[in-house]
Amino acid sequence: MSEMNEKGTSRREFLKHTGQIAAASALAGIAPGVFAAENNTIKLALIGCGGRGSGAANDAMSVNKGPVKLVAMADVFEHRLKGSYNNLKQAQPELVDVPEDRQFIGLDSYKNAMDCLSPGDIAIFASPPAFRWVHFTYAIKKNLNVFMEKPVTVDGPTSRRMFKLGEEASAKNLKIGVGLMSRHSRALEQLRNRILDGEIGDIILQRGYRMHGPVGFFNSTVKPAGISDLMFQVQRFHSFLWASGGNYSDFYIHLVDHQAWMKNDWPVKAQGLGGRHYKVNAQGVPFVDQNLDTYSVEYTYADGSKFLLDGRCMTGCAEIYSSYAHGTKGSAIVSKSGDCGMPSSTYRSQNMTAENMIWESRVRRDQGNPYQNEWNDLVDAIRSDTPYNEIESGVKSSLVTSLGRMAAHTGQEITYEQILNSDHEMAPGLDKLTAESPAPLQPGPDGKYPMPQPGITKTREY
């Protein structure tokens, strides 16, 4: 509680000394580069109130250059919005101002929430990734800054669309953050600088592992009664490729992203494999989702170097969740644990032992949380009106992740250009979707959904 009081005091002092500036900002409020709200406060609208959205909103309200206030919330499920609201109100009572008339439910609720903002405020997108381009289009129209969670696309057509929307946002001087927080890890920043300076030579091999038990909505059984196919798929979005890119895109994108960042390049092709080992749950009820239990993908860069990615969602197996880089002069631990777990370190040989260590990252305590860092960086850019747009790298990371997924699902070697220019939009027309619309994916008579068939379905994933 004392920390909250200190924050509250600092905000009151800030407001005391910036009242005249705030008034001028309110009058000038239609300029996208100016956060236009009462008392110099940046307003937030949270669209997608699950765990990640709630976490992003809490981080937004904890920035070191506040105040930032949550004023609107939207979700398709009322219980999820209410749960998020109660948790956020308890955590940040002074900064959550979302009465019931600014709590919106439904597929079009994103518009209602963004309509509560002024130009220069921030919309948070944390609904299933399939809806990113829909919500981003409206935010640009409203001259809003945006923070969107990863992935930001799941296929080629939506990636092309998002690239164009990113250019429109830059033309309007909007600030856009993407939730690939590894790029805001101060440890990984330090490591990248050392790699680019040649400390371990030229990177010739990268490895990434995310192997643990099922989490999120990784697998699903037959849709229960009382919910439509559409709402079932939105609710359990990790289980469906159109909604999220499946567990491959949602779970593995951070490894793909930070390894490409370390390499300072993007893979140009991929080949891979995967398997579905468990077709029923412990009670013998069939799984109906589209995910594979294991993936192993080899990405290739233009210079011929490789990135090997292994993923597994299975209980009882060895758990490995980390990433590594191997160069011509040495090696590095990129993430010691998780998506960007400290410390990062470099070594003078391929044996990553203490006696071979060259360097280990050291990060200030107040900069140790990359989730908070990404919000500090975004809000700093808004308040200083400096260019800030992470869409290009966010879309490329999403697309390269989908590239590996498509290679495993089709059993073919797929190039970056092939998936970028693919005509398979998994869920077209999402901007016109209503609660009565048919689901983008239809089940068979047994309640199961189309599965990838490597070697049979070769040009699309299902």
pLDDT at 141 over 70: yes
pLDDT digits (tens, 9 = 90+) for 337-356: 999 999 999 999 999 999 99
pLDDT band at 333 (very low <50, low <70, confident <90, very high): very high
Higher-scoring residue by pLDDT: 375, 281: 375
What CATH number is attached to the domain comprising 130? 3.40.50.720
Measure the CA–CA gap between 230 and 359, rounded to whole angstroms. 51
Q: Which of 35-49, 57-71, 239-253, 445-459 has the lowest mean pLDDT?
A: 35-49
pLDDT on residue 25: 34
> What average pLDDT score do residues 383-412 get?
98
Residue 27, pLDDT above cutoff 60: no
Q: Which structure tokens are listed for 270?
A: 């991929």
Q: Are 180 and 390 in contact (CB under 8 A)?
A: yes
Residue with the bigger pLDDT between 301 and 446: it is: 301
Burial of residue 446 (CB within 10 Å: 0-12, 13-18, 19+) is: exposed
Structural domains of the chain, count: 1
Q: Does residue 260 have a pLDDT over 60?
A: yes
pLDDT at position 18 is: 35
In a domain, 73, yes or no: yes
Average pLDDT over residues 147-175: 98
Q: Does the pLDDT value for residue 221 go beyond 60?
A: yes
Is residue 45 assigned to a domain? yes
At residue 36 the predicted structure's pLDDT band, cuts being 50, 70 and 90, is very low
224: DSSP letter? P
pLDDT of residue 39: 63
pLDDT band at 192 (very low <50, low <70, confident <90, very high): very high
Any residues with CB less than 8 A from the CB of 439 and at least 6 apart, and which? 228, 229, 230, 232, 233
Per-residue burial over 89-101, b if 16 or more Cβ lie within 10 Å, else e, is eeebeebbebeee
Write the pLDDT tens digit of every residue in 414-456.
Answer: 999 999 999 999 999 999 999 999 999 999 999 999 999 999 9
Report yes or no on 223 lying in a domain. no
In this model, does residue 3 exceed pLDDT 60? Answer: no
Among 209, 152, 165, which residue's Cα sits nearest to residue 398? Answer: 152
Inside any domain, residue 143: yes
Distance CA 264, CA 274 (A): 28
Cβ atoms 357, 370 nearer than 8 A: no
Average pLDDT over residues 104-127: 98
Task: Flag whether 273 is in a domain.
Answer: no
Does 214 map to a domain? no
pLDDT band at 90 (very low <50, low <70, confident <90, very high): very high
| Rounded to 5°, angle at Cα 266 from 262 and 269 | 130
Which H or E element spans position 181? none
Beta carbons within 8 Å of 5's beta carbon, 6+ residues apart:
none
Q: What is the DSSP letter of 435?
A: T
**Distances in Å between the alpha carbon of 144 and those of 18, 24, 75, 123, 150?**
22, 19, 19, 7, 19
pLDDT (0 to 100) of residue 19: 35
Q: Which residue has the tokens 């002074």?
A: 94
Q: Given this model, what pLDDT does residue 318 score?
A: 97
In the chain the first and final C-alpha atoms are separated, in Å, by 52
pTM of the predicted model, to two decimals? 0.90
253, amino acid identity: I
Task: Look at residue 52 and tell me if it is in a domain.
Answer: yes
Alpha-carbon gap, residue 142 to 164, rounded angstroms:
17
Domain that holds residue 58: 2-182+371-389
What integer best gives the mean pLDDT of the chain?
A: 92
Q: Hey, is 36 helix, strand or coil?
A: coil
Confidence of residue 382 (pLDDT cuts 50, 70, 90): very high
For residue 407, the surrounding DSSP H or E stretch is helix 391-410
Residue 255 lies in a domain: no
Q: Given this model, what pLDDT does residue 247 score?
A: 97
